[in-house]
Structure 1
Amino acid sequence: MPVRRRRSTALAAAVTTAAALGATALAALGGATTASAAGAPLSDYELTWGIKQSYRTYVGMFGSFTASEGATQAAGNGAFTFTDGTGTYDTAAHTVDLGFQGKVVSASAAHGFEITLTDVRFDSAAGEITADVRKVATVDGTSTTTEGDDVPLATVEVTRRMTDMATTLTAEAGEYLGNAGYAGAAGDPLTVARKTQPSTEPTTEPTTGPTTDPTSGPTGKPGTGPSTEPTDPKPTDPKPTGPETTPGPQDPSPTASTSASPSTPASAAPAKGEIADGTLGWGVKESFRSYVVGSIAKGRVTVSGGAVQAAGNGAFTFKNATGTYDTDADKLTAAFEGAVNFKGHQSGGTYGLDLTLSNLKATLDGGTGKLSADVNSLGEQTEGVVLADLEAESGDLKADGDVITVDGVAATLTDAGAKVFGNYPAGTALDAVDLSVALSDEAHLPSGGSGGSAGGGAGSTGGTAATVGGTGTTTGGSIGGGSLASTGSDLPGPALGAAAGLAVVAGAGAVLATRRRRTREQQPAE
């Protein structure tokens, strides 16, 4: 028989959390209904939230997400968007209360759980996000269902613009998601916005109240009524001026041209020739790095041969490029020194995951190209495997100070790459690639290039092997990340070996199965 938990217990927990955070949610929780008399109706809002990146990675590795009934999920196992938001805007307190359409189900047959979220709500006065939650947990063939209405999943640091708001997961979120360690942990940022922005879009004043509304002036106090409200919040005024005026796209151009023009005729490299040096920055896939050093694989990441890794289990930089370029034909071919090794799932002195990528090579021709590497998986070496298709934002290769720099090159997993990492579909987005190549010995590569800064951190001393992980802790994980594959089992099959891969996919691995049976609920990565 299902166990249903009502809002009474959830409310008490939310109040406790709010008090600990020193938020203003206490007053809002007790008197949220009193402000509704001044409410103006709202409609056509969307809420975007990823819950927690490491949770999505965990589910994606052993199961899948299904978004329906108005909810969608971003590509690459990204954040969820709930639609058709309706509710009220308190014109006196400058707060919103919105409910959204959509259903998200996370499920893993191997680990015996299915968690359904519906009726997602955002209350800026209370500073929280809630949902109706249904959880089915199956252990040794016995299923237990737990349901809760208006479960507080996270507290929210509400901002005036309601974009990228920081969230903190609650104890209830940890209980339903299967990891008590989530209580008090940072969740993914939350954004609430109207699908079609009106000129009088309401904004929130989460803690200061209407008396401190910067646009209201000395008369902006509670009780002024809706008549002054349409002219108070002006989201369209500050939004364009921030990003448009700050970079000053016209400003740098004269400076750059005047400083470069005297030296260009004397030092310009020929249109084509051999590359003198260069670096390639690539993280493979952020969620894959987190998985390797996380609480499931409990492994480590090691760089060697001159490669470096950024701090916090970050991206890799491969150095000492050789190859050719032709700026007239917009062609580039460059090979890089350095290697990265991923190890995990140790048992009896051996590793189920042991994957090394070395001798990386990038080619570009008119903005598109390939990224290849020599691959060693569990001792089996394969040379020149094309891991990713590359696509730059521009096909034009230009040299600036005898350096060609192409940043943010989109990398998409190929069929061959999918076989290297496991059952990941071709077309999955990998981490972007950054390329910088020097065309002469006198050229200076950008910071983070051959100097080895690469964000600092492990492996910043070239040529010396450095290791991240091994402690079983999960590192990193930002919004927009996601597992290497968005559907099915995200276990790297060939890298883990047939036996280990089959054990996890089928849920029959002795070590994992025993551990799961000894715990009441499965624990996703923190």
Structure 2
Amino acid sequence: MPVRRRRSTALAAAVATAAALGATALATVGAGTASAAEVPLKDYELTWGIKQSYRTYVTTFAKGTFTPAEGATQAAGNGAFTFVDGTGAYDSATHVTNLAFKGSLAVESKAHGFVLTLSDVRFDSADAAITADVTRDGTTEDDVPLATVTVTREMKDMATTLTARAAEVFGSAGYEGAAGDPLTLTRKTPTEPSPTPTTGAPTTQPSPTATRTQTQEPEPTATGTTSSAPDPTASTSASATATASASATAPATDAPTQAPAKGAIADGTLGWGVKESFRAYVVGPIAKGRVTVSGGAAQAAGNGAFTFKDATGTYDTDAGKLTASFRGAVNFKGHETDGTYGLDLTLSNLKATLDGGTGTLTADVNSLGEAKKGVVLADLKAKSADLTARDDVITVDDVAATLTGAGAEIFGNYPAGTALDAVDLSVALSDDAQLPGGGTGSAGGSGTAGGTGGTGTTGGTGSTTGGTGSTIGGTGTTTGGVTGGGSLASTGTDLPGPALGAAAGAAVAIGAGAVFAARKRRTQR
């Protein structure tokens, strides 16, 4: 019978998180009893997607499923998972938060022959870790450490790093040390009031913040600083005084500038990663390829997203319209056999349009020597319809991108409607406007820094027809080693290898839609 580990709540707690549950909970420090230091918590939810590329692998290449149960849910579009009814405690003496959640998640692929279930998901701020019980082959292992967490005070969108055990559970050695999806902890509903503070009680009418924290259960947060608690009344008063003084004497320096309502774009950048799982596949153990950029485009280190720059186009802030074209190209190349590539795809001349918060993303496409101009790859949807200029720069981040039917023909294995990487847009409205990253409208912003991965090509070297690369499924179809510049050659292990097995490797190769759909189009010409 497995034995559950007891979690540490010692010195590491203060060092790792120094979590503060708001003024009410902090005021209990020094109350004099152990019970006064511990605040019960309940009705919390934990949202974590494990890793976006893993979810894509399961539902596409592995043709598998995620099945949440016992209250757990999954966001639409193969999104993140939420575990519910979190209960636990916060210790204001050690600043440790422990929460255990209900819900289970079954992951299954009959095609690749694996079944596993995650349950009893737990968060421990002292260890800064996520653990879960893992059931495989009828055997359950308790408290498997899946990821470490960079704990923040707000406990929202906290960065996670997958562990060696996660790499084993999810079937990819490359997951060890890799970034997982962000983690968020929230309280679903308010609960009973917390104990009345025994120290630092205000002598005057409390602020709205103080009133709220005295009548609701405090949120678990983490300061990452000191374990001593400041006087909540003094902190609130100082902040309020400073804020009021600043409001009365200082100008509103971050108010939107009076940019022209409409006109020509002076410059701009577009950040887009196409799709994380596709980048990983190209440079991974199946395609054994490389990603290169050219024409001024850049790629973030670690096989990251791309930045295209030198925008031209027009904008109209009153009408909420924006049209911007960008320089730069990215080439994906893989499945090399005797100098011929089964995958050779170039995207260039990207163009983004927004009108009332919705729009499209188009590109010129060259796949195995077959060129198409202005292919609508994705439908775009911004979080807001407004296009507000600040310091003569319009910035629209985290624009949702959804694969179109035309884009599905290019990438093959991904069906229309698949969520792609989000798009980030920044355009300068004047020559001296400062773009994010330090560039100006006249000089051109460089966008995201990172390795460029060498010099790219604008066309395709695999335009010849025939060749041994036209067959699929066999292990001998990919003989080329991983090449290319920068850090790209060593990345791309996101496709879980051990979970596939020798026979499943061929199935994953068949699932590489961008390669084989392109081959099909070439042989049909």
TM-score normalized with structure 1 length: 0.64
Instruction: Work out whether residues 298 and 344 of structure 1, in 8 Å CA contact, stay in contact via their aligned partners in 2.
Output: yes
Which residue number corresponds to residue 70 of structure 1?
71
Aligned with residue 453 of structure 1, among 430, 433, 446: 446
Displacement of 1:379 after TM fit?
2.9
Change (3 A) 1:23 1:185: farther
Alpha-carbon shift at residue 117 of structure 1 (Å): 0.7
1:345 and 1:76, CA in 2 relative to 1: closer, same or farther beyond 3 A? farther
Residue 473 (1) aligns with residue 488 (2) = no
Structure 1 counterpart of 2:278, from 271, 283, 288: 288
How far off is 1:342 after superposition? 1.3
1:511 aligns to what?
A: none
* Partner in structure 2 of residue 200 of structure 1: 217
How far off is 1:172 after superposition?
A: 4.0
In structure 2, the partner of 1:214 is: 229
**Alignment CA distance shift 1:381-1:85 (3 Å):** same
Q: Deviations over 1:413-469 (max 9, x none)?
A: 2222223222334333333334455667x5556245753522233349999989555
Amino acid in the other structure paired with 2:140? E
Is the Cα contact below 8 Å between 1:275 and 1:323 reproduced in 2? yes
Q: Give, in whole Å, the separation in 1 of the partners of 2:303 and 2:145.
A: 32
**Which secondary structure state, in structure 2, belongs to the residue aligned with residue 497 of structure 1?**
helix
SS of residue paired to 1:474? coil
Corresponding letter in the other structure for 1:6: P
- Could you list the per-position Cα deviations for residues 230-283 of structure 1 after superposition, in whole angstroms to 9, with x for gaps in the alignment? x99x9x979x99xx99x99x96746767xx77xx8xxx69x55x6565543333
- The separation in 2 between residues aligned to 1:75 and 1:389, in whole angstroms, is 17
For 1:122 and 1:56, locate their aligned partners in 2 and report how far apart those are by CA, in whole Å.
21
RMSD: 5.1
Equivalent residue for 1:153, pick from 142, 146, 152: 146
Shift of 1:83: 0.4
Give 1:330 shift: 4.6
Greater shift in the superposed pair: 353-362 or 93-102: 93-102
Separation (CA, whole Å) in 2 of partners of 1:397 and 1:43: 41
**Are the structure 2 counterparts of residues 50 and 436 from structure 1 closer, same or farther at C-alpha, using a change threshold of 3 Å?**
closer
Q: Are the structure 2 counterparts of residues 312 and 451 from structure 1 closer, same or farther at C-alpha, using a change threshold of 3 Å? A: farther
Contact 2:293 2:453 in 1 (8 A): no
Q: Please give the alpha-carbon distance, in whole angstroms, between the structure 1 residues aligned to 2:221 and 2:318.
A: 53
Q: Is the 8 A contact 1:334 1:362 kept in 2?
A: yes
- Distance, in Å, in 1 between the alignment partners of 2:151 and 2:395 is 39
- Distance (whole Å) between structure 2 residues aligned to residue 348 and residue 460 of structure 1: 23
Aligned counterparts of 1:22 and 1:346: Cα–Cα separation in 2: 53
- Opposite residue 495 of structure 1, the aligned amino acid is A
User: Could you tell me which residue of structure 2 aligns to residue 42 of structure 1?
Assistant: 41
User: Which residue of structure 2 aligns with residue 413 of structure 1?
Assistant: 403
- Equivalent position amino acid for 1:473 in 2: T
Q: Report if the CA contact (8 A) 2:364-2:374 is conserved.
A: yes
State which of 156, 160, 169 in structure 2 corresponds to 1:176. 169
Residue 80 (str. 1) matches residue 76 (str. 2): no
Contact 1:299 1:472 in 2 (8 A): no
CA distance in 2, matches of 1:401, 1:92: 46
1:276-325 deviation digits (Å, cap 9, x = unpaired): 65543333233433333344443221112333334443333334444455
| Residues 1:132 and 2:127 aligned together | no
The equivalent position to 2:516 in structure 1, one of 494, 497, 509, is: 497
Residues in 1 aligned to 2:269 and 2:126: alpha-carbon distance in whole angstroms: 49
Give the match's secondary structure for 1:455: coil
TM superposition shift of 1:348:
4.5
Please state if 1:306 is matched with 2:306.
no
SS in 2 for 1:471: helix
Distance 1:497 1:468, change over 3 A: farther
Is the CA contact 1:331–1:397 (under 8 Å) kept in the aligned structure 2? yes
Structure 1 gaps of 5+ residues are 26-34, 137-144, 218-230, 478-487, 502-526
- Listed one character per residue, the Cα deviations across residues 185-206 of structure 1 (whole Å, up to 9, x for unaligned) are 6655544332124523264789
Deviations 1:462-515 (A, max 9, x none): 9998955552423999xxxxxxxxxx99987541115999xxxxxxxxxxxxxx
Cα deviation, residue 171, structure 1: 4.8
CA displacement, residues 128-173 of structure 1 (integer Å, 9 cap, x when unaligned):
543221124xxxxxxxx54323434345566666555565655543
| 2:326 is the counterpart of 1:336 | yes
User: Alpha-carbon deviations, 1:175-218, whole Å to 9, x = none?
Assistant: 43334565666655544332124523264789999xx4415x7x
Q: 2:94 and 2:428 mapped to 1: Cα distance?
A: 58
Question: Which residue identity is paired with 1:194?
Answer: R
Q: Deviations over 1:44-100 (max 9, x none)?
A: 121223334554454344234222221123345443210012345557655444332
Q: Which residue of 2 aligns with 1:122?
A: 123
Equivalent-residue separation in structure 1 for 2:288 and 2:14 (angstroms): 36
Does the CA contact (< 8 Å) of 1:170 and 1:184 recur in 2? yes
What is the total number of aligned residue pairs between the two structures? Answer: 432
Distance 2:291 2:427 in 1: 26
Rounded Cα–Cα distance in structure 1 between residues aligned with 2:156 and 2:269 = 35
Query: Which residue of structure 1 aligns with residue 475 of structure 2?
Result: none
After TM superposition, give the deviation of residue 394 of structure 1 in Å.
4.5
With 295-304 and 165-174 compared, the bigger mean Cα shift is at: 165-174
Indicate the larger mover: 183-192 or 110-119: 183-192
Inter-CA distance 85–381: structure 2 relative to 1 (3 Å threshold): same
1:49 counterpart letter in structure 2? W
Tell me how far apart the structure 1 counterparts of residues 225 and 268 of structure 2 sit (CA, whole Å).
52
Match in the other structure for 1:7: 3
Identity, % of aligned pairs? 62
The CA distance in 1 between the partners of 2:418 and 2:13, in whole Å, is 39
Displacement of 1:358: 1.8
- 1:516 maps to none
* Cα drift, residue 385 of structure 1: 1.4
Contact 2:303–2:488 at 8 Å: present in 1 too? Answer: no
- CA displacement at 1:370 relative to structure 2: 1.8
Gap regions ≥5 residues in structure 2? 18-33, 192-215, 459-483, 496-506, 521-525
